[in-house]
A = this chain, B = another copy of it.
């Protein structure tokens, strides 16, 4: 059974969880990876109840051991790996602790390296597989108050682009989805109680998941590296 690993899974109404549910519904066994066991189990249970196959796996995206273990547990049929970890880390550089800047990079970029490396180590021998990264508009340019996040996300995107070129000849499809704006998920709903009243300004999670699914389905003679996604209300 084809297997997917999705890391960066949190609450049910979040991008990570919905990616898991979509690919499970599409017939893949999904390794549901993230930091909070309860959340992972909830997602995996939903999938199993719906007749799919899912395994919760607690993993810290920045821990080499955790990531290696995660891929080892995925088995031979790994066909899709999605790196969805990394939160926005706002703040002015002048006030910023070095540790904060480093942690922003560690989660958004270094974890992507560990994850991507383990993915290609397993996919290259089979000459097939898809590796996808979640990006943001912050990946594309620097902006005041977002230096740490910008730096980390640009580092991830450029790594992904280098890997796309490095492993294309091996049959590995590497892609990057630029999420431009706030997602209509639990995170934003909890933080901004008014968010429910402006749903049309929040990106549809299903729409983003469609983008990942589209990239995954592409034939080797028509691969995309990058896809941007935003609502019609977004200024860009």
Contact = CB atoms under 8 A, between A and B. Distances in A.
B94 A113 contact: no
Interface in A216-236: 217-236
Contact of A204 (B155, B210, B221): B221
A187 interface: no
A228 B226 contact: yes
Nearest to A94: B120
Q: Across chains A and B, which 3 residue pairs bring their CB atoms closest together, nearest first?
A: A207-B222, A142-B161, A142-B162
Interface in A199-219: 199-200, 202-204, 206-208, 210-211, 214, 217-219
B236 A224 contact: no
Nearest to A208: B222
Contacts of A124: 94
Contact of A222 (B143, B210, B226): B210
A142 to B, nearest CB: 3
Copies of this polypeptide in the complex = 4
A116 interface: yes
Given A154-B155, A158-B154, A163 B184 contact: no
Name the interface size band of chain A: 35 or more
Contact of A221 (B105, B141, B184, B218): B184
14 contacts: A142-B160, A142-B165, A150-B161, A150-B162, A151-B162, A152-B155, A203-B222, A204-B221, A204-B222, A208-B222, A210-B222, A222-B231, A223-B230, A225-B228
Nearest to A121: B94
Contacts of A6: none
Contacts of A228: 224-226
A163 B142 CA distance: 8
A223 B181 CA distance: 11
B93 A232 contact: no
Contact of A147 (B163, B227, B229): B163
